[in-house]
Structure 1
Amino acid sequence: MAHFPVNHPARPLYRVFAGLVGLYILVFGVYGVVETWGESLFDRGSHWALGLRTNLAFSLVSVIFGIILMIGASRRSNLGHYMNLTAGVVFMVTGVLMMSVLQTSANFLNFSMSTVIVSLLFGLLLLATGLYDKVGPDEHAAVEARHRRPTVSGNH
């Protein structure tokens, strides 16, 4: 079974990273909705928002996902931990799937290669934050800290 560090000292920093990813996705989504409003939901036009190609469907999903990520980053519980791990997997899988259909009519979210790269980078960042932002009782963290300390041995 996987072991996730509990109460990692850099946990607040990781939550900030997850929050910034959520904020970017939210702003991208809102800007994309403004840019693509009036177009069909799965339009394959040349609409760009914050350097990424988009359509109305992708923009609306981004608004929802951005809000969810920001809620997870603002919580001091394990909700954010699980949300970041899940979101990281979703971003990685979506990036790979959309990369495989870039030049086909199945590219219903209107991804470009830059969108794929950003999706994969955000996925990695969210997975990393999810690995280190788990919360637990202080006693559990103290036991882990003792296990991480190097032991001094007189035998060489």
Structure 2
Amino acid sequence: MAHFPVNHPARPFYRALSGLIGLYILIFGVYGTVVTWGGGLFGRGHDWVLGLRTNLAFALVSVVFGAVLLIGATRRSNLGHYMNLTAGVVFLVTAILMMAVLQTPANFLNFSMSTVIVSMLFGLVLLATGLYDKVGPPDHAHAERGDRRAPVSRTGR
């Protein structure tokens, strides 16, 4: 079973970080939708928004994904914890898959290498925030911190 720190002291920082990523993605999506509105849904044009190449489909997905990340960052429950873990994995897998088809007609989201790099970076940051923003009762967090600081017993000596 995986071990996640409970009520980590830097949890507000991690939530703010995931919220900023969600806000960037939402702004990117809204602005990308405005810029690419007249083109095809899966167009392969040269539309760049906030330093990333996009098309209408990618912009619309970004609007939804950014809103979901913002909702997760504003919740004080474990919803944000699970959403950040899931979003981190989704970003990393999407970046790897899109990098594999970057120079082919299968690049239906119109990714560029800069988009792949930003997606990987966001995935790693969201995964890290998901690891440290788990919420639990104070007594559980206190016991978990005590277990972490306890010396390892040496048997056989």
Structure 1 unmatched runs, 5+: 152-156
Letter of the 2:132 counterpart: Y
Q: Distance in 1 between matches of 2:150 and 2:136?
A: 23
- Residues 40-119 of structure 1 aligned to structure 2 (within 5 Å): 40-119=40-119
CA distance in 2, matches of 1:40, 1:113: 21
- Structure 1 vs Structure 2 CA RMSD: 0.8
CA deviations 1:119-151 (Å, max 9, x no partner) are 000000000000000001111001012123355
For the residues of structure 2 that align with 1:60 and 1:102, how far apart are their CA atoms? Answer: 20
Query: Aligned pair count?
Result: 151
Q: What residue is the counterpart of 1:134 in the other structure?
A: 134
Which segments of structure 1 move beyond 3 Å, counting only runs of 4 or more? none
Q: C-alpha separation between the residues in 1 aligned to 2:143 and 2:79?
A: 23
- Cα distance in 2 between the residues matched to 1:118 and 1:57: 18
| 1:70-97 Cα deviation digits (max 9, x unpaired) | 0000000000000000000000000000
With normalisation by structure 1, the TM-score equals 0.95
Distance 1:113 1:97 in 2: 12
2:149 and 2:17 map into 1 onto residues whose CA distance is 27
- 2: distance between equivalents of 1:18 and 1:52? 19
Shift of 1:22: 0.1
Residue in 1 that maps onto 2:121:
121
Q: Distance in 1 between matches of 2:17 and 2:41?
A: 30
Q: Which residue of 2 aligns with 1:154?
A: none
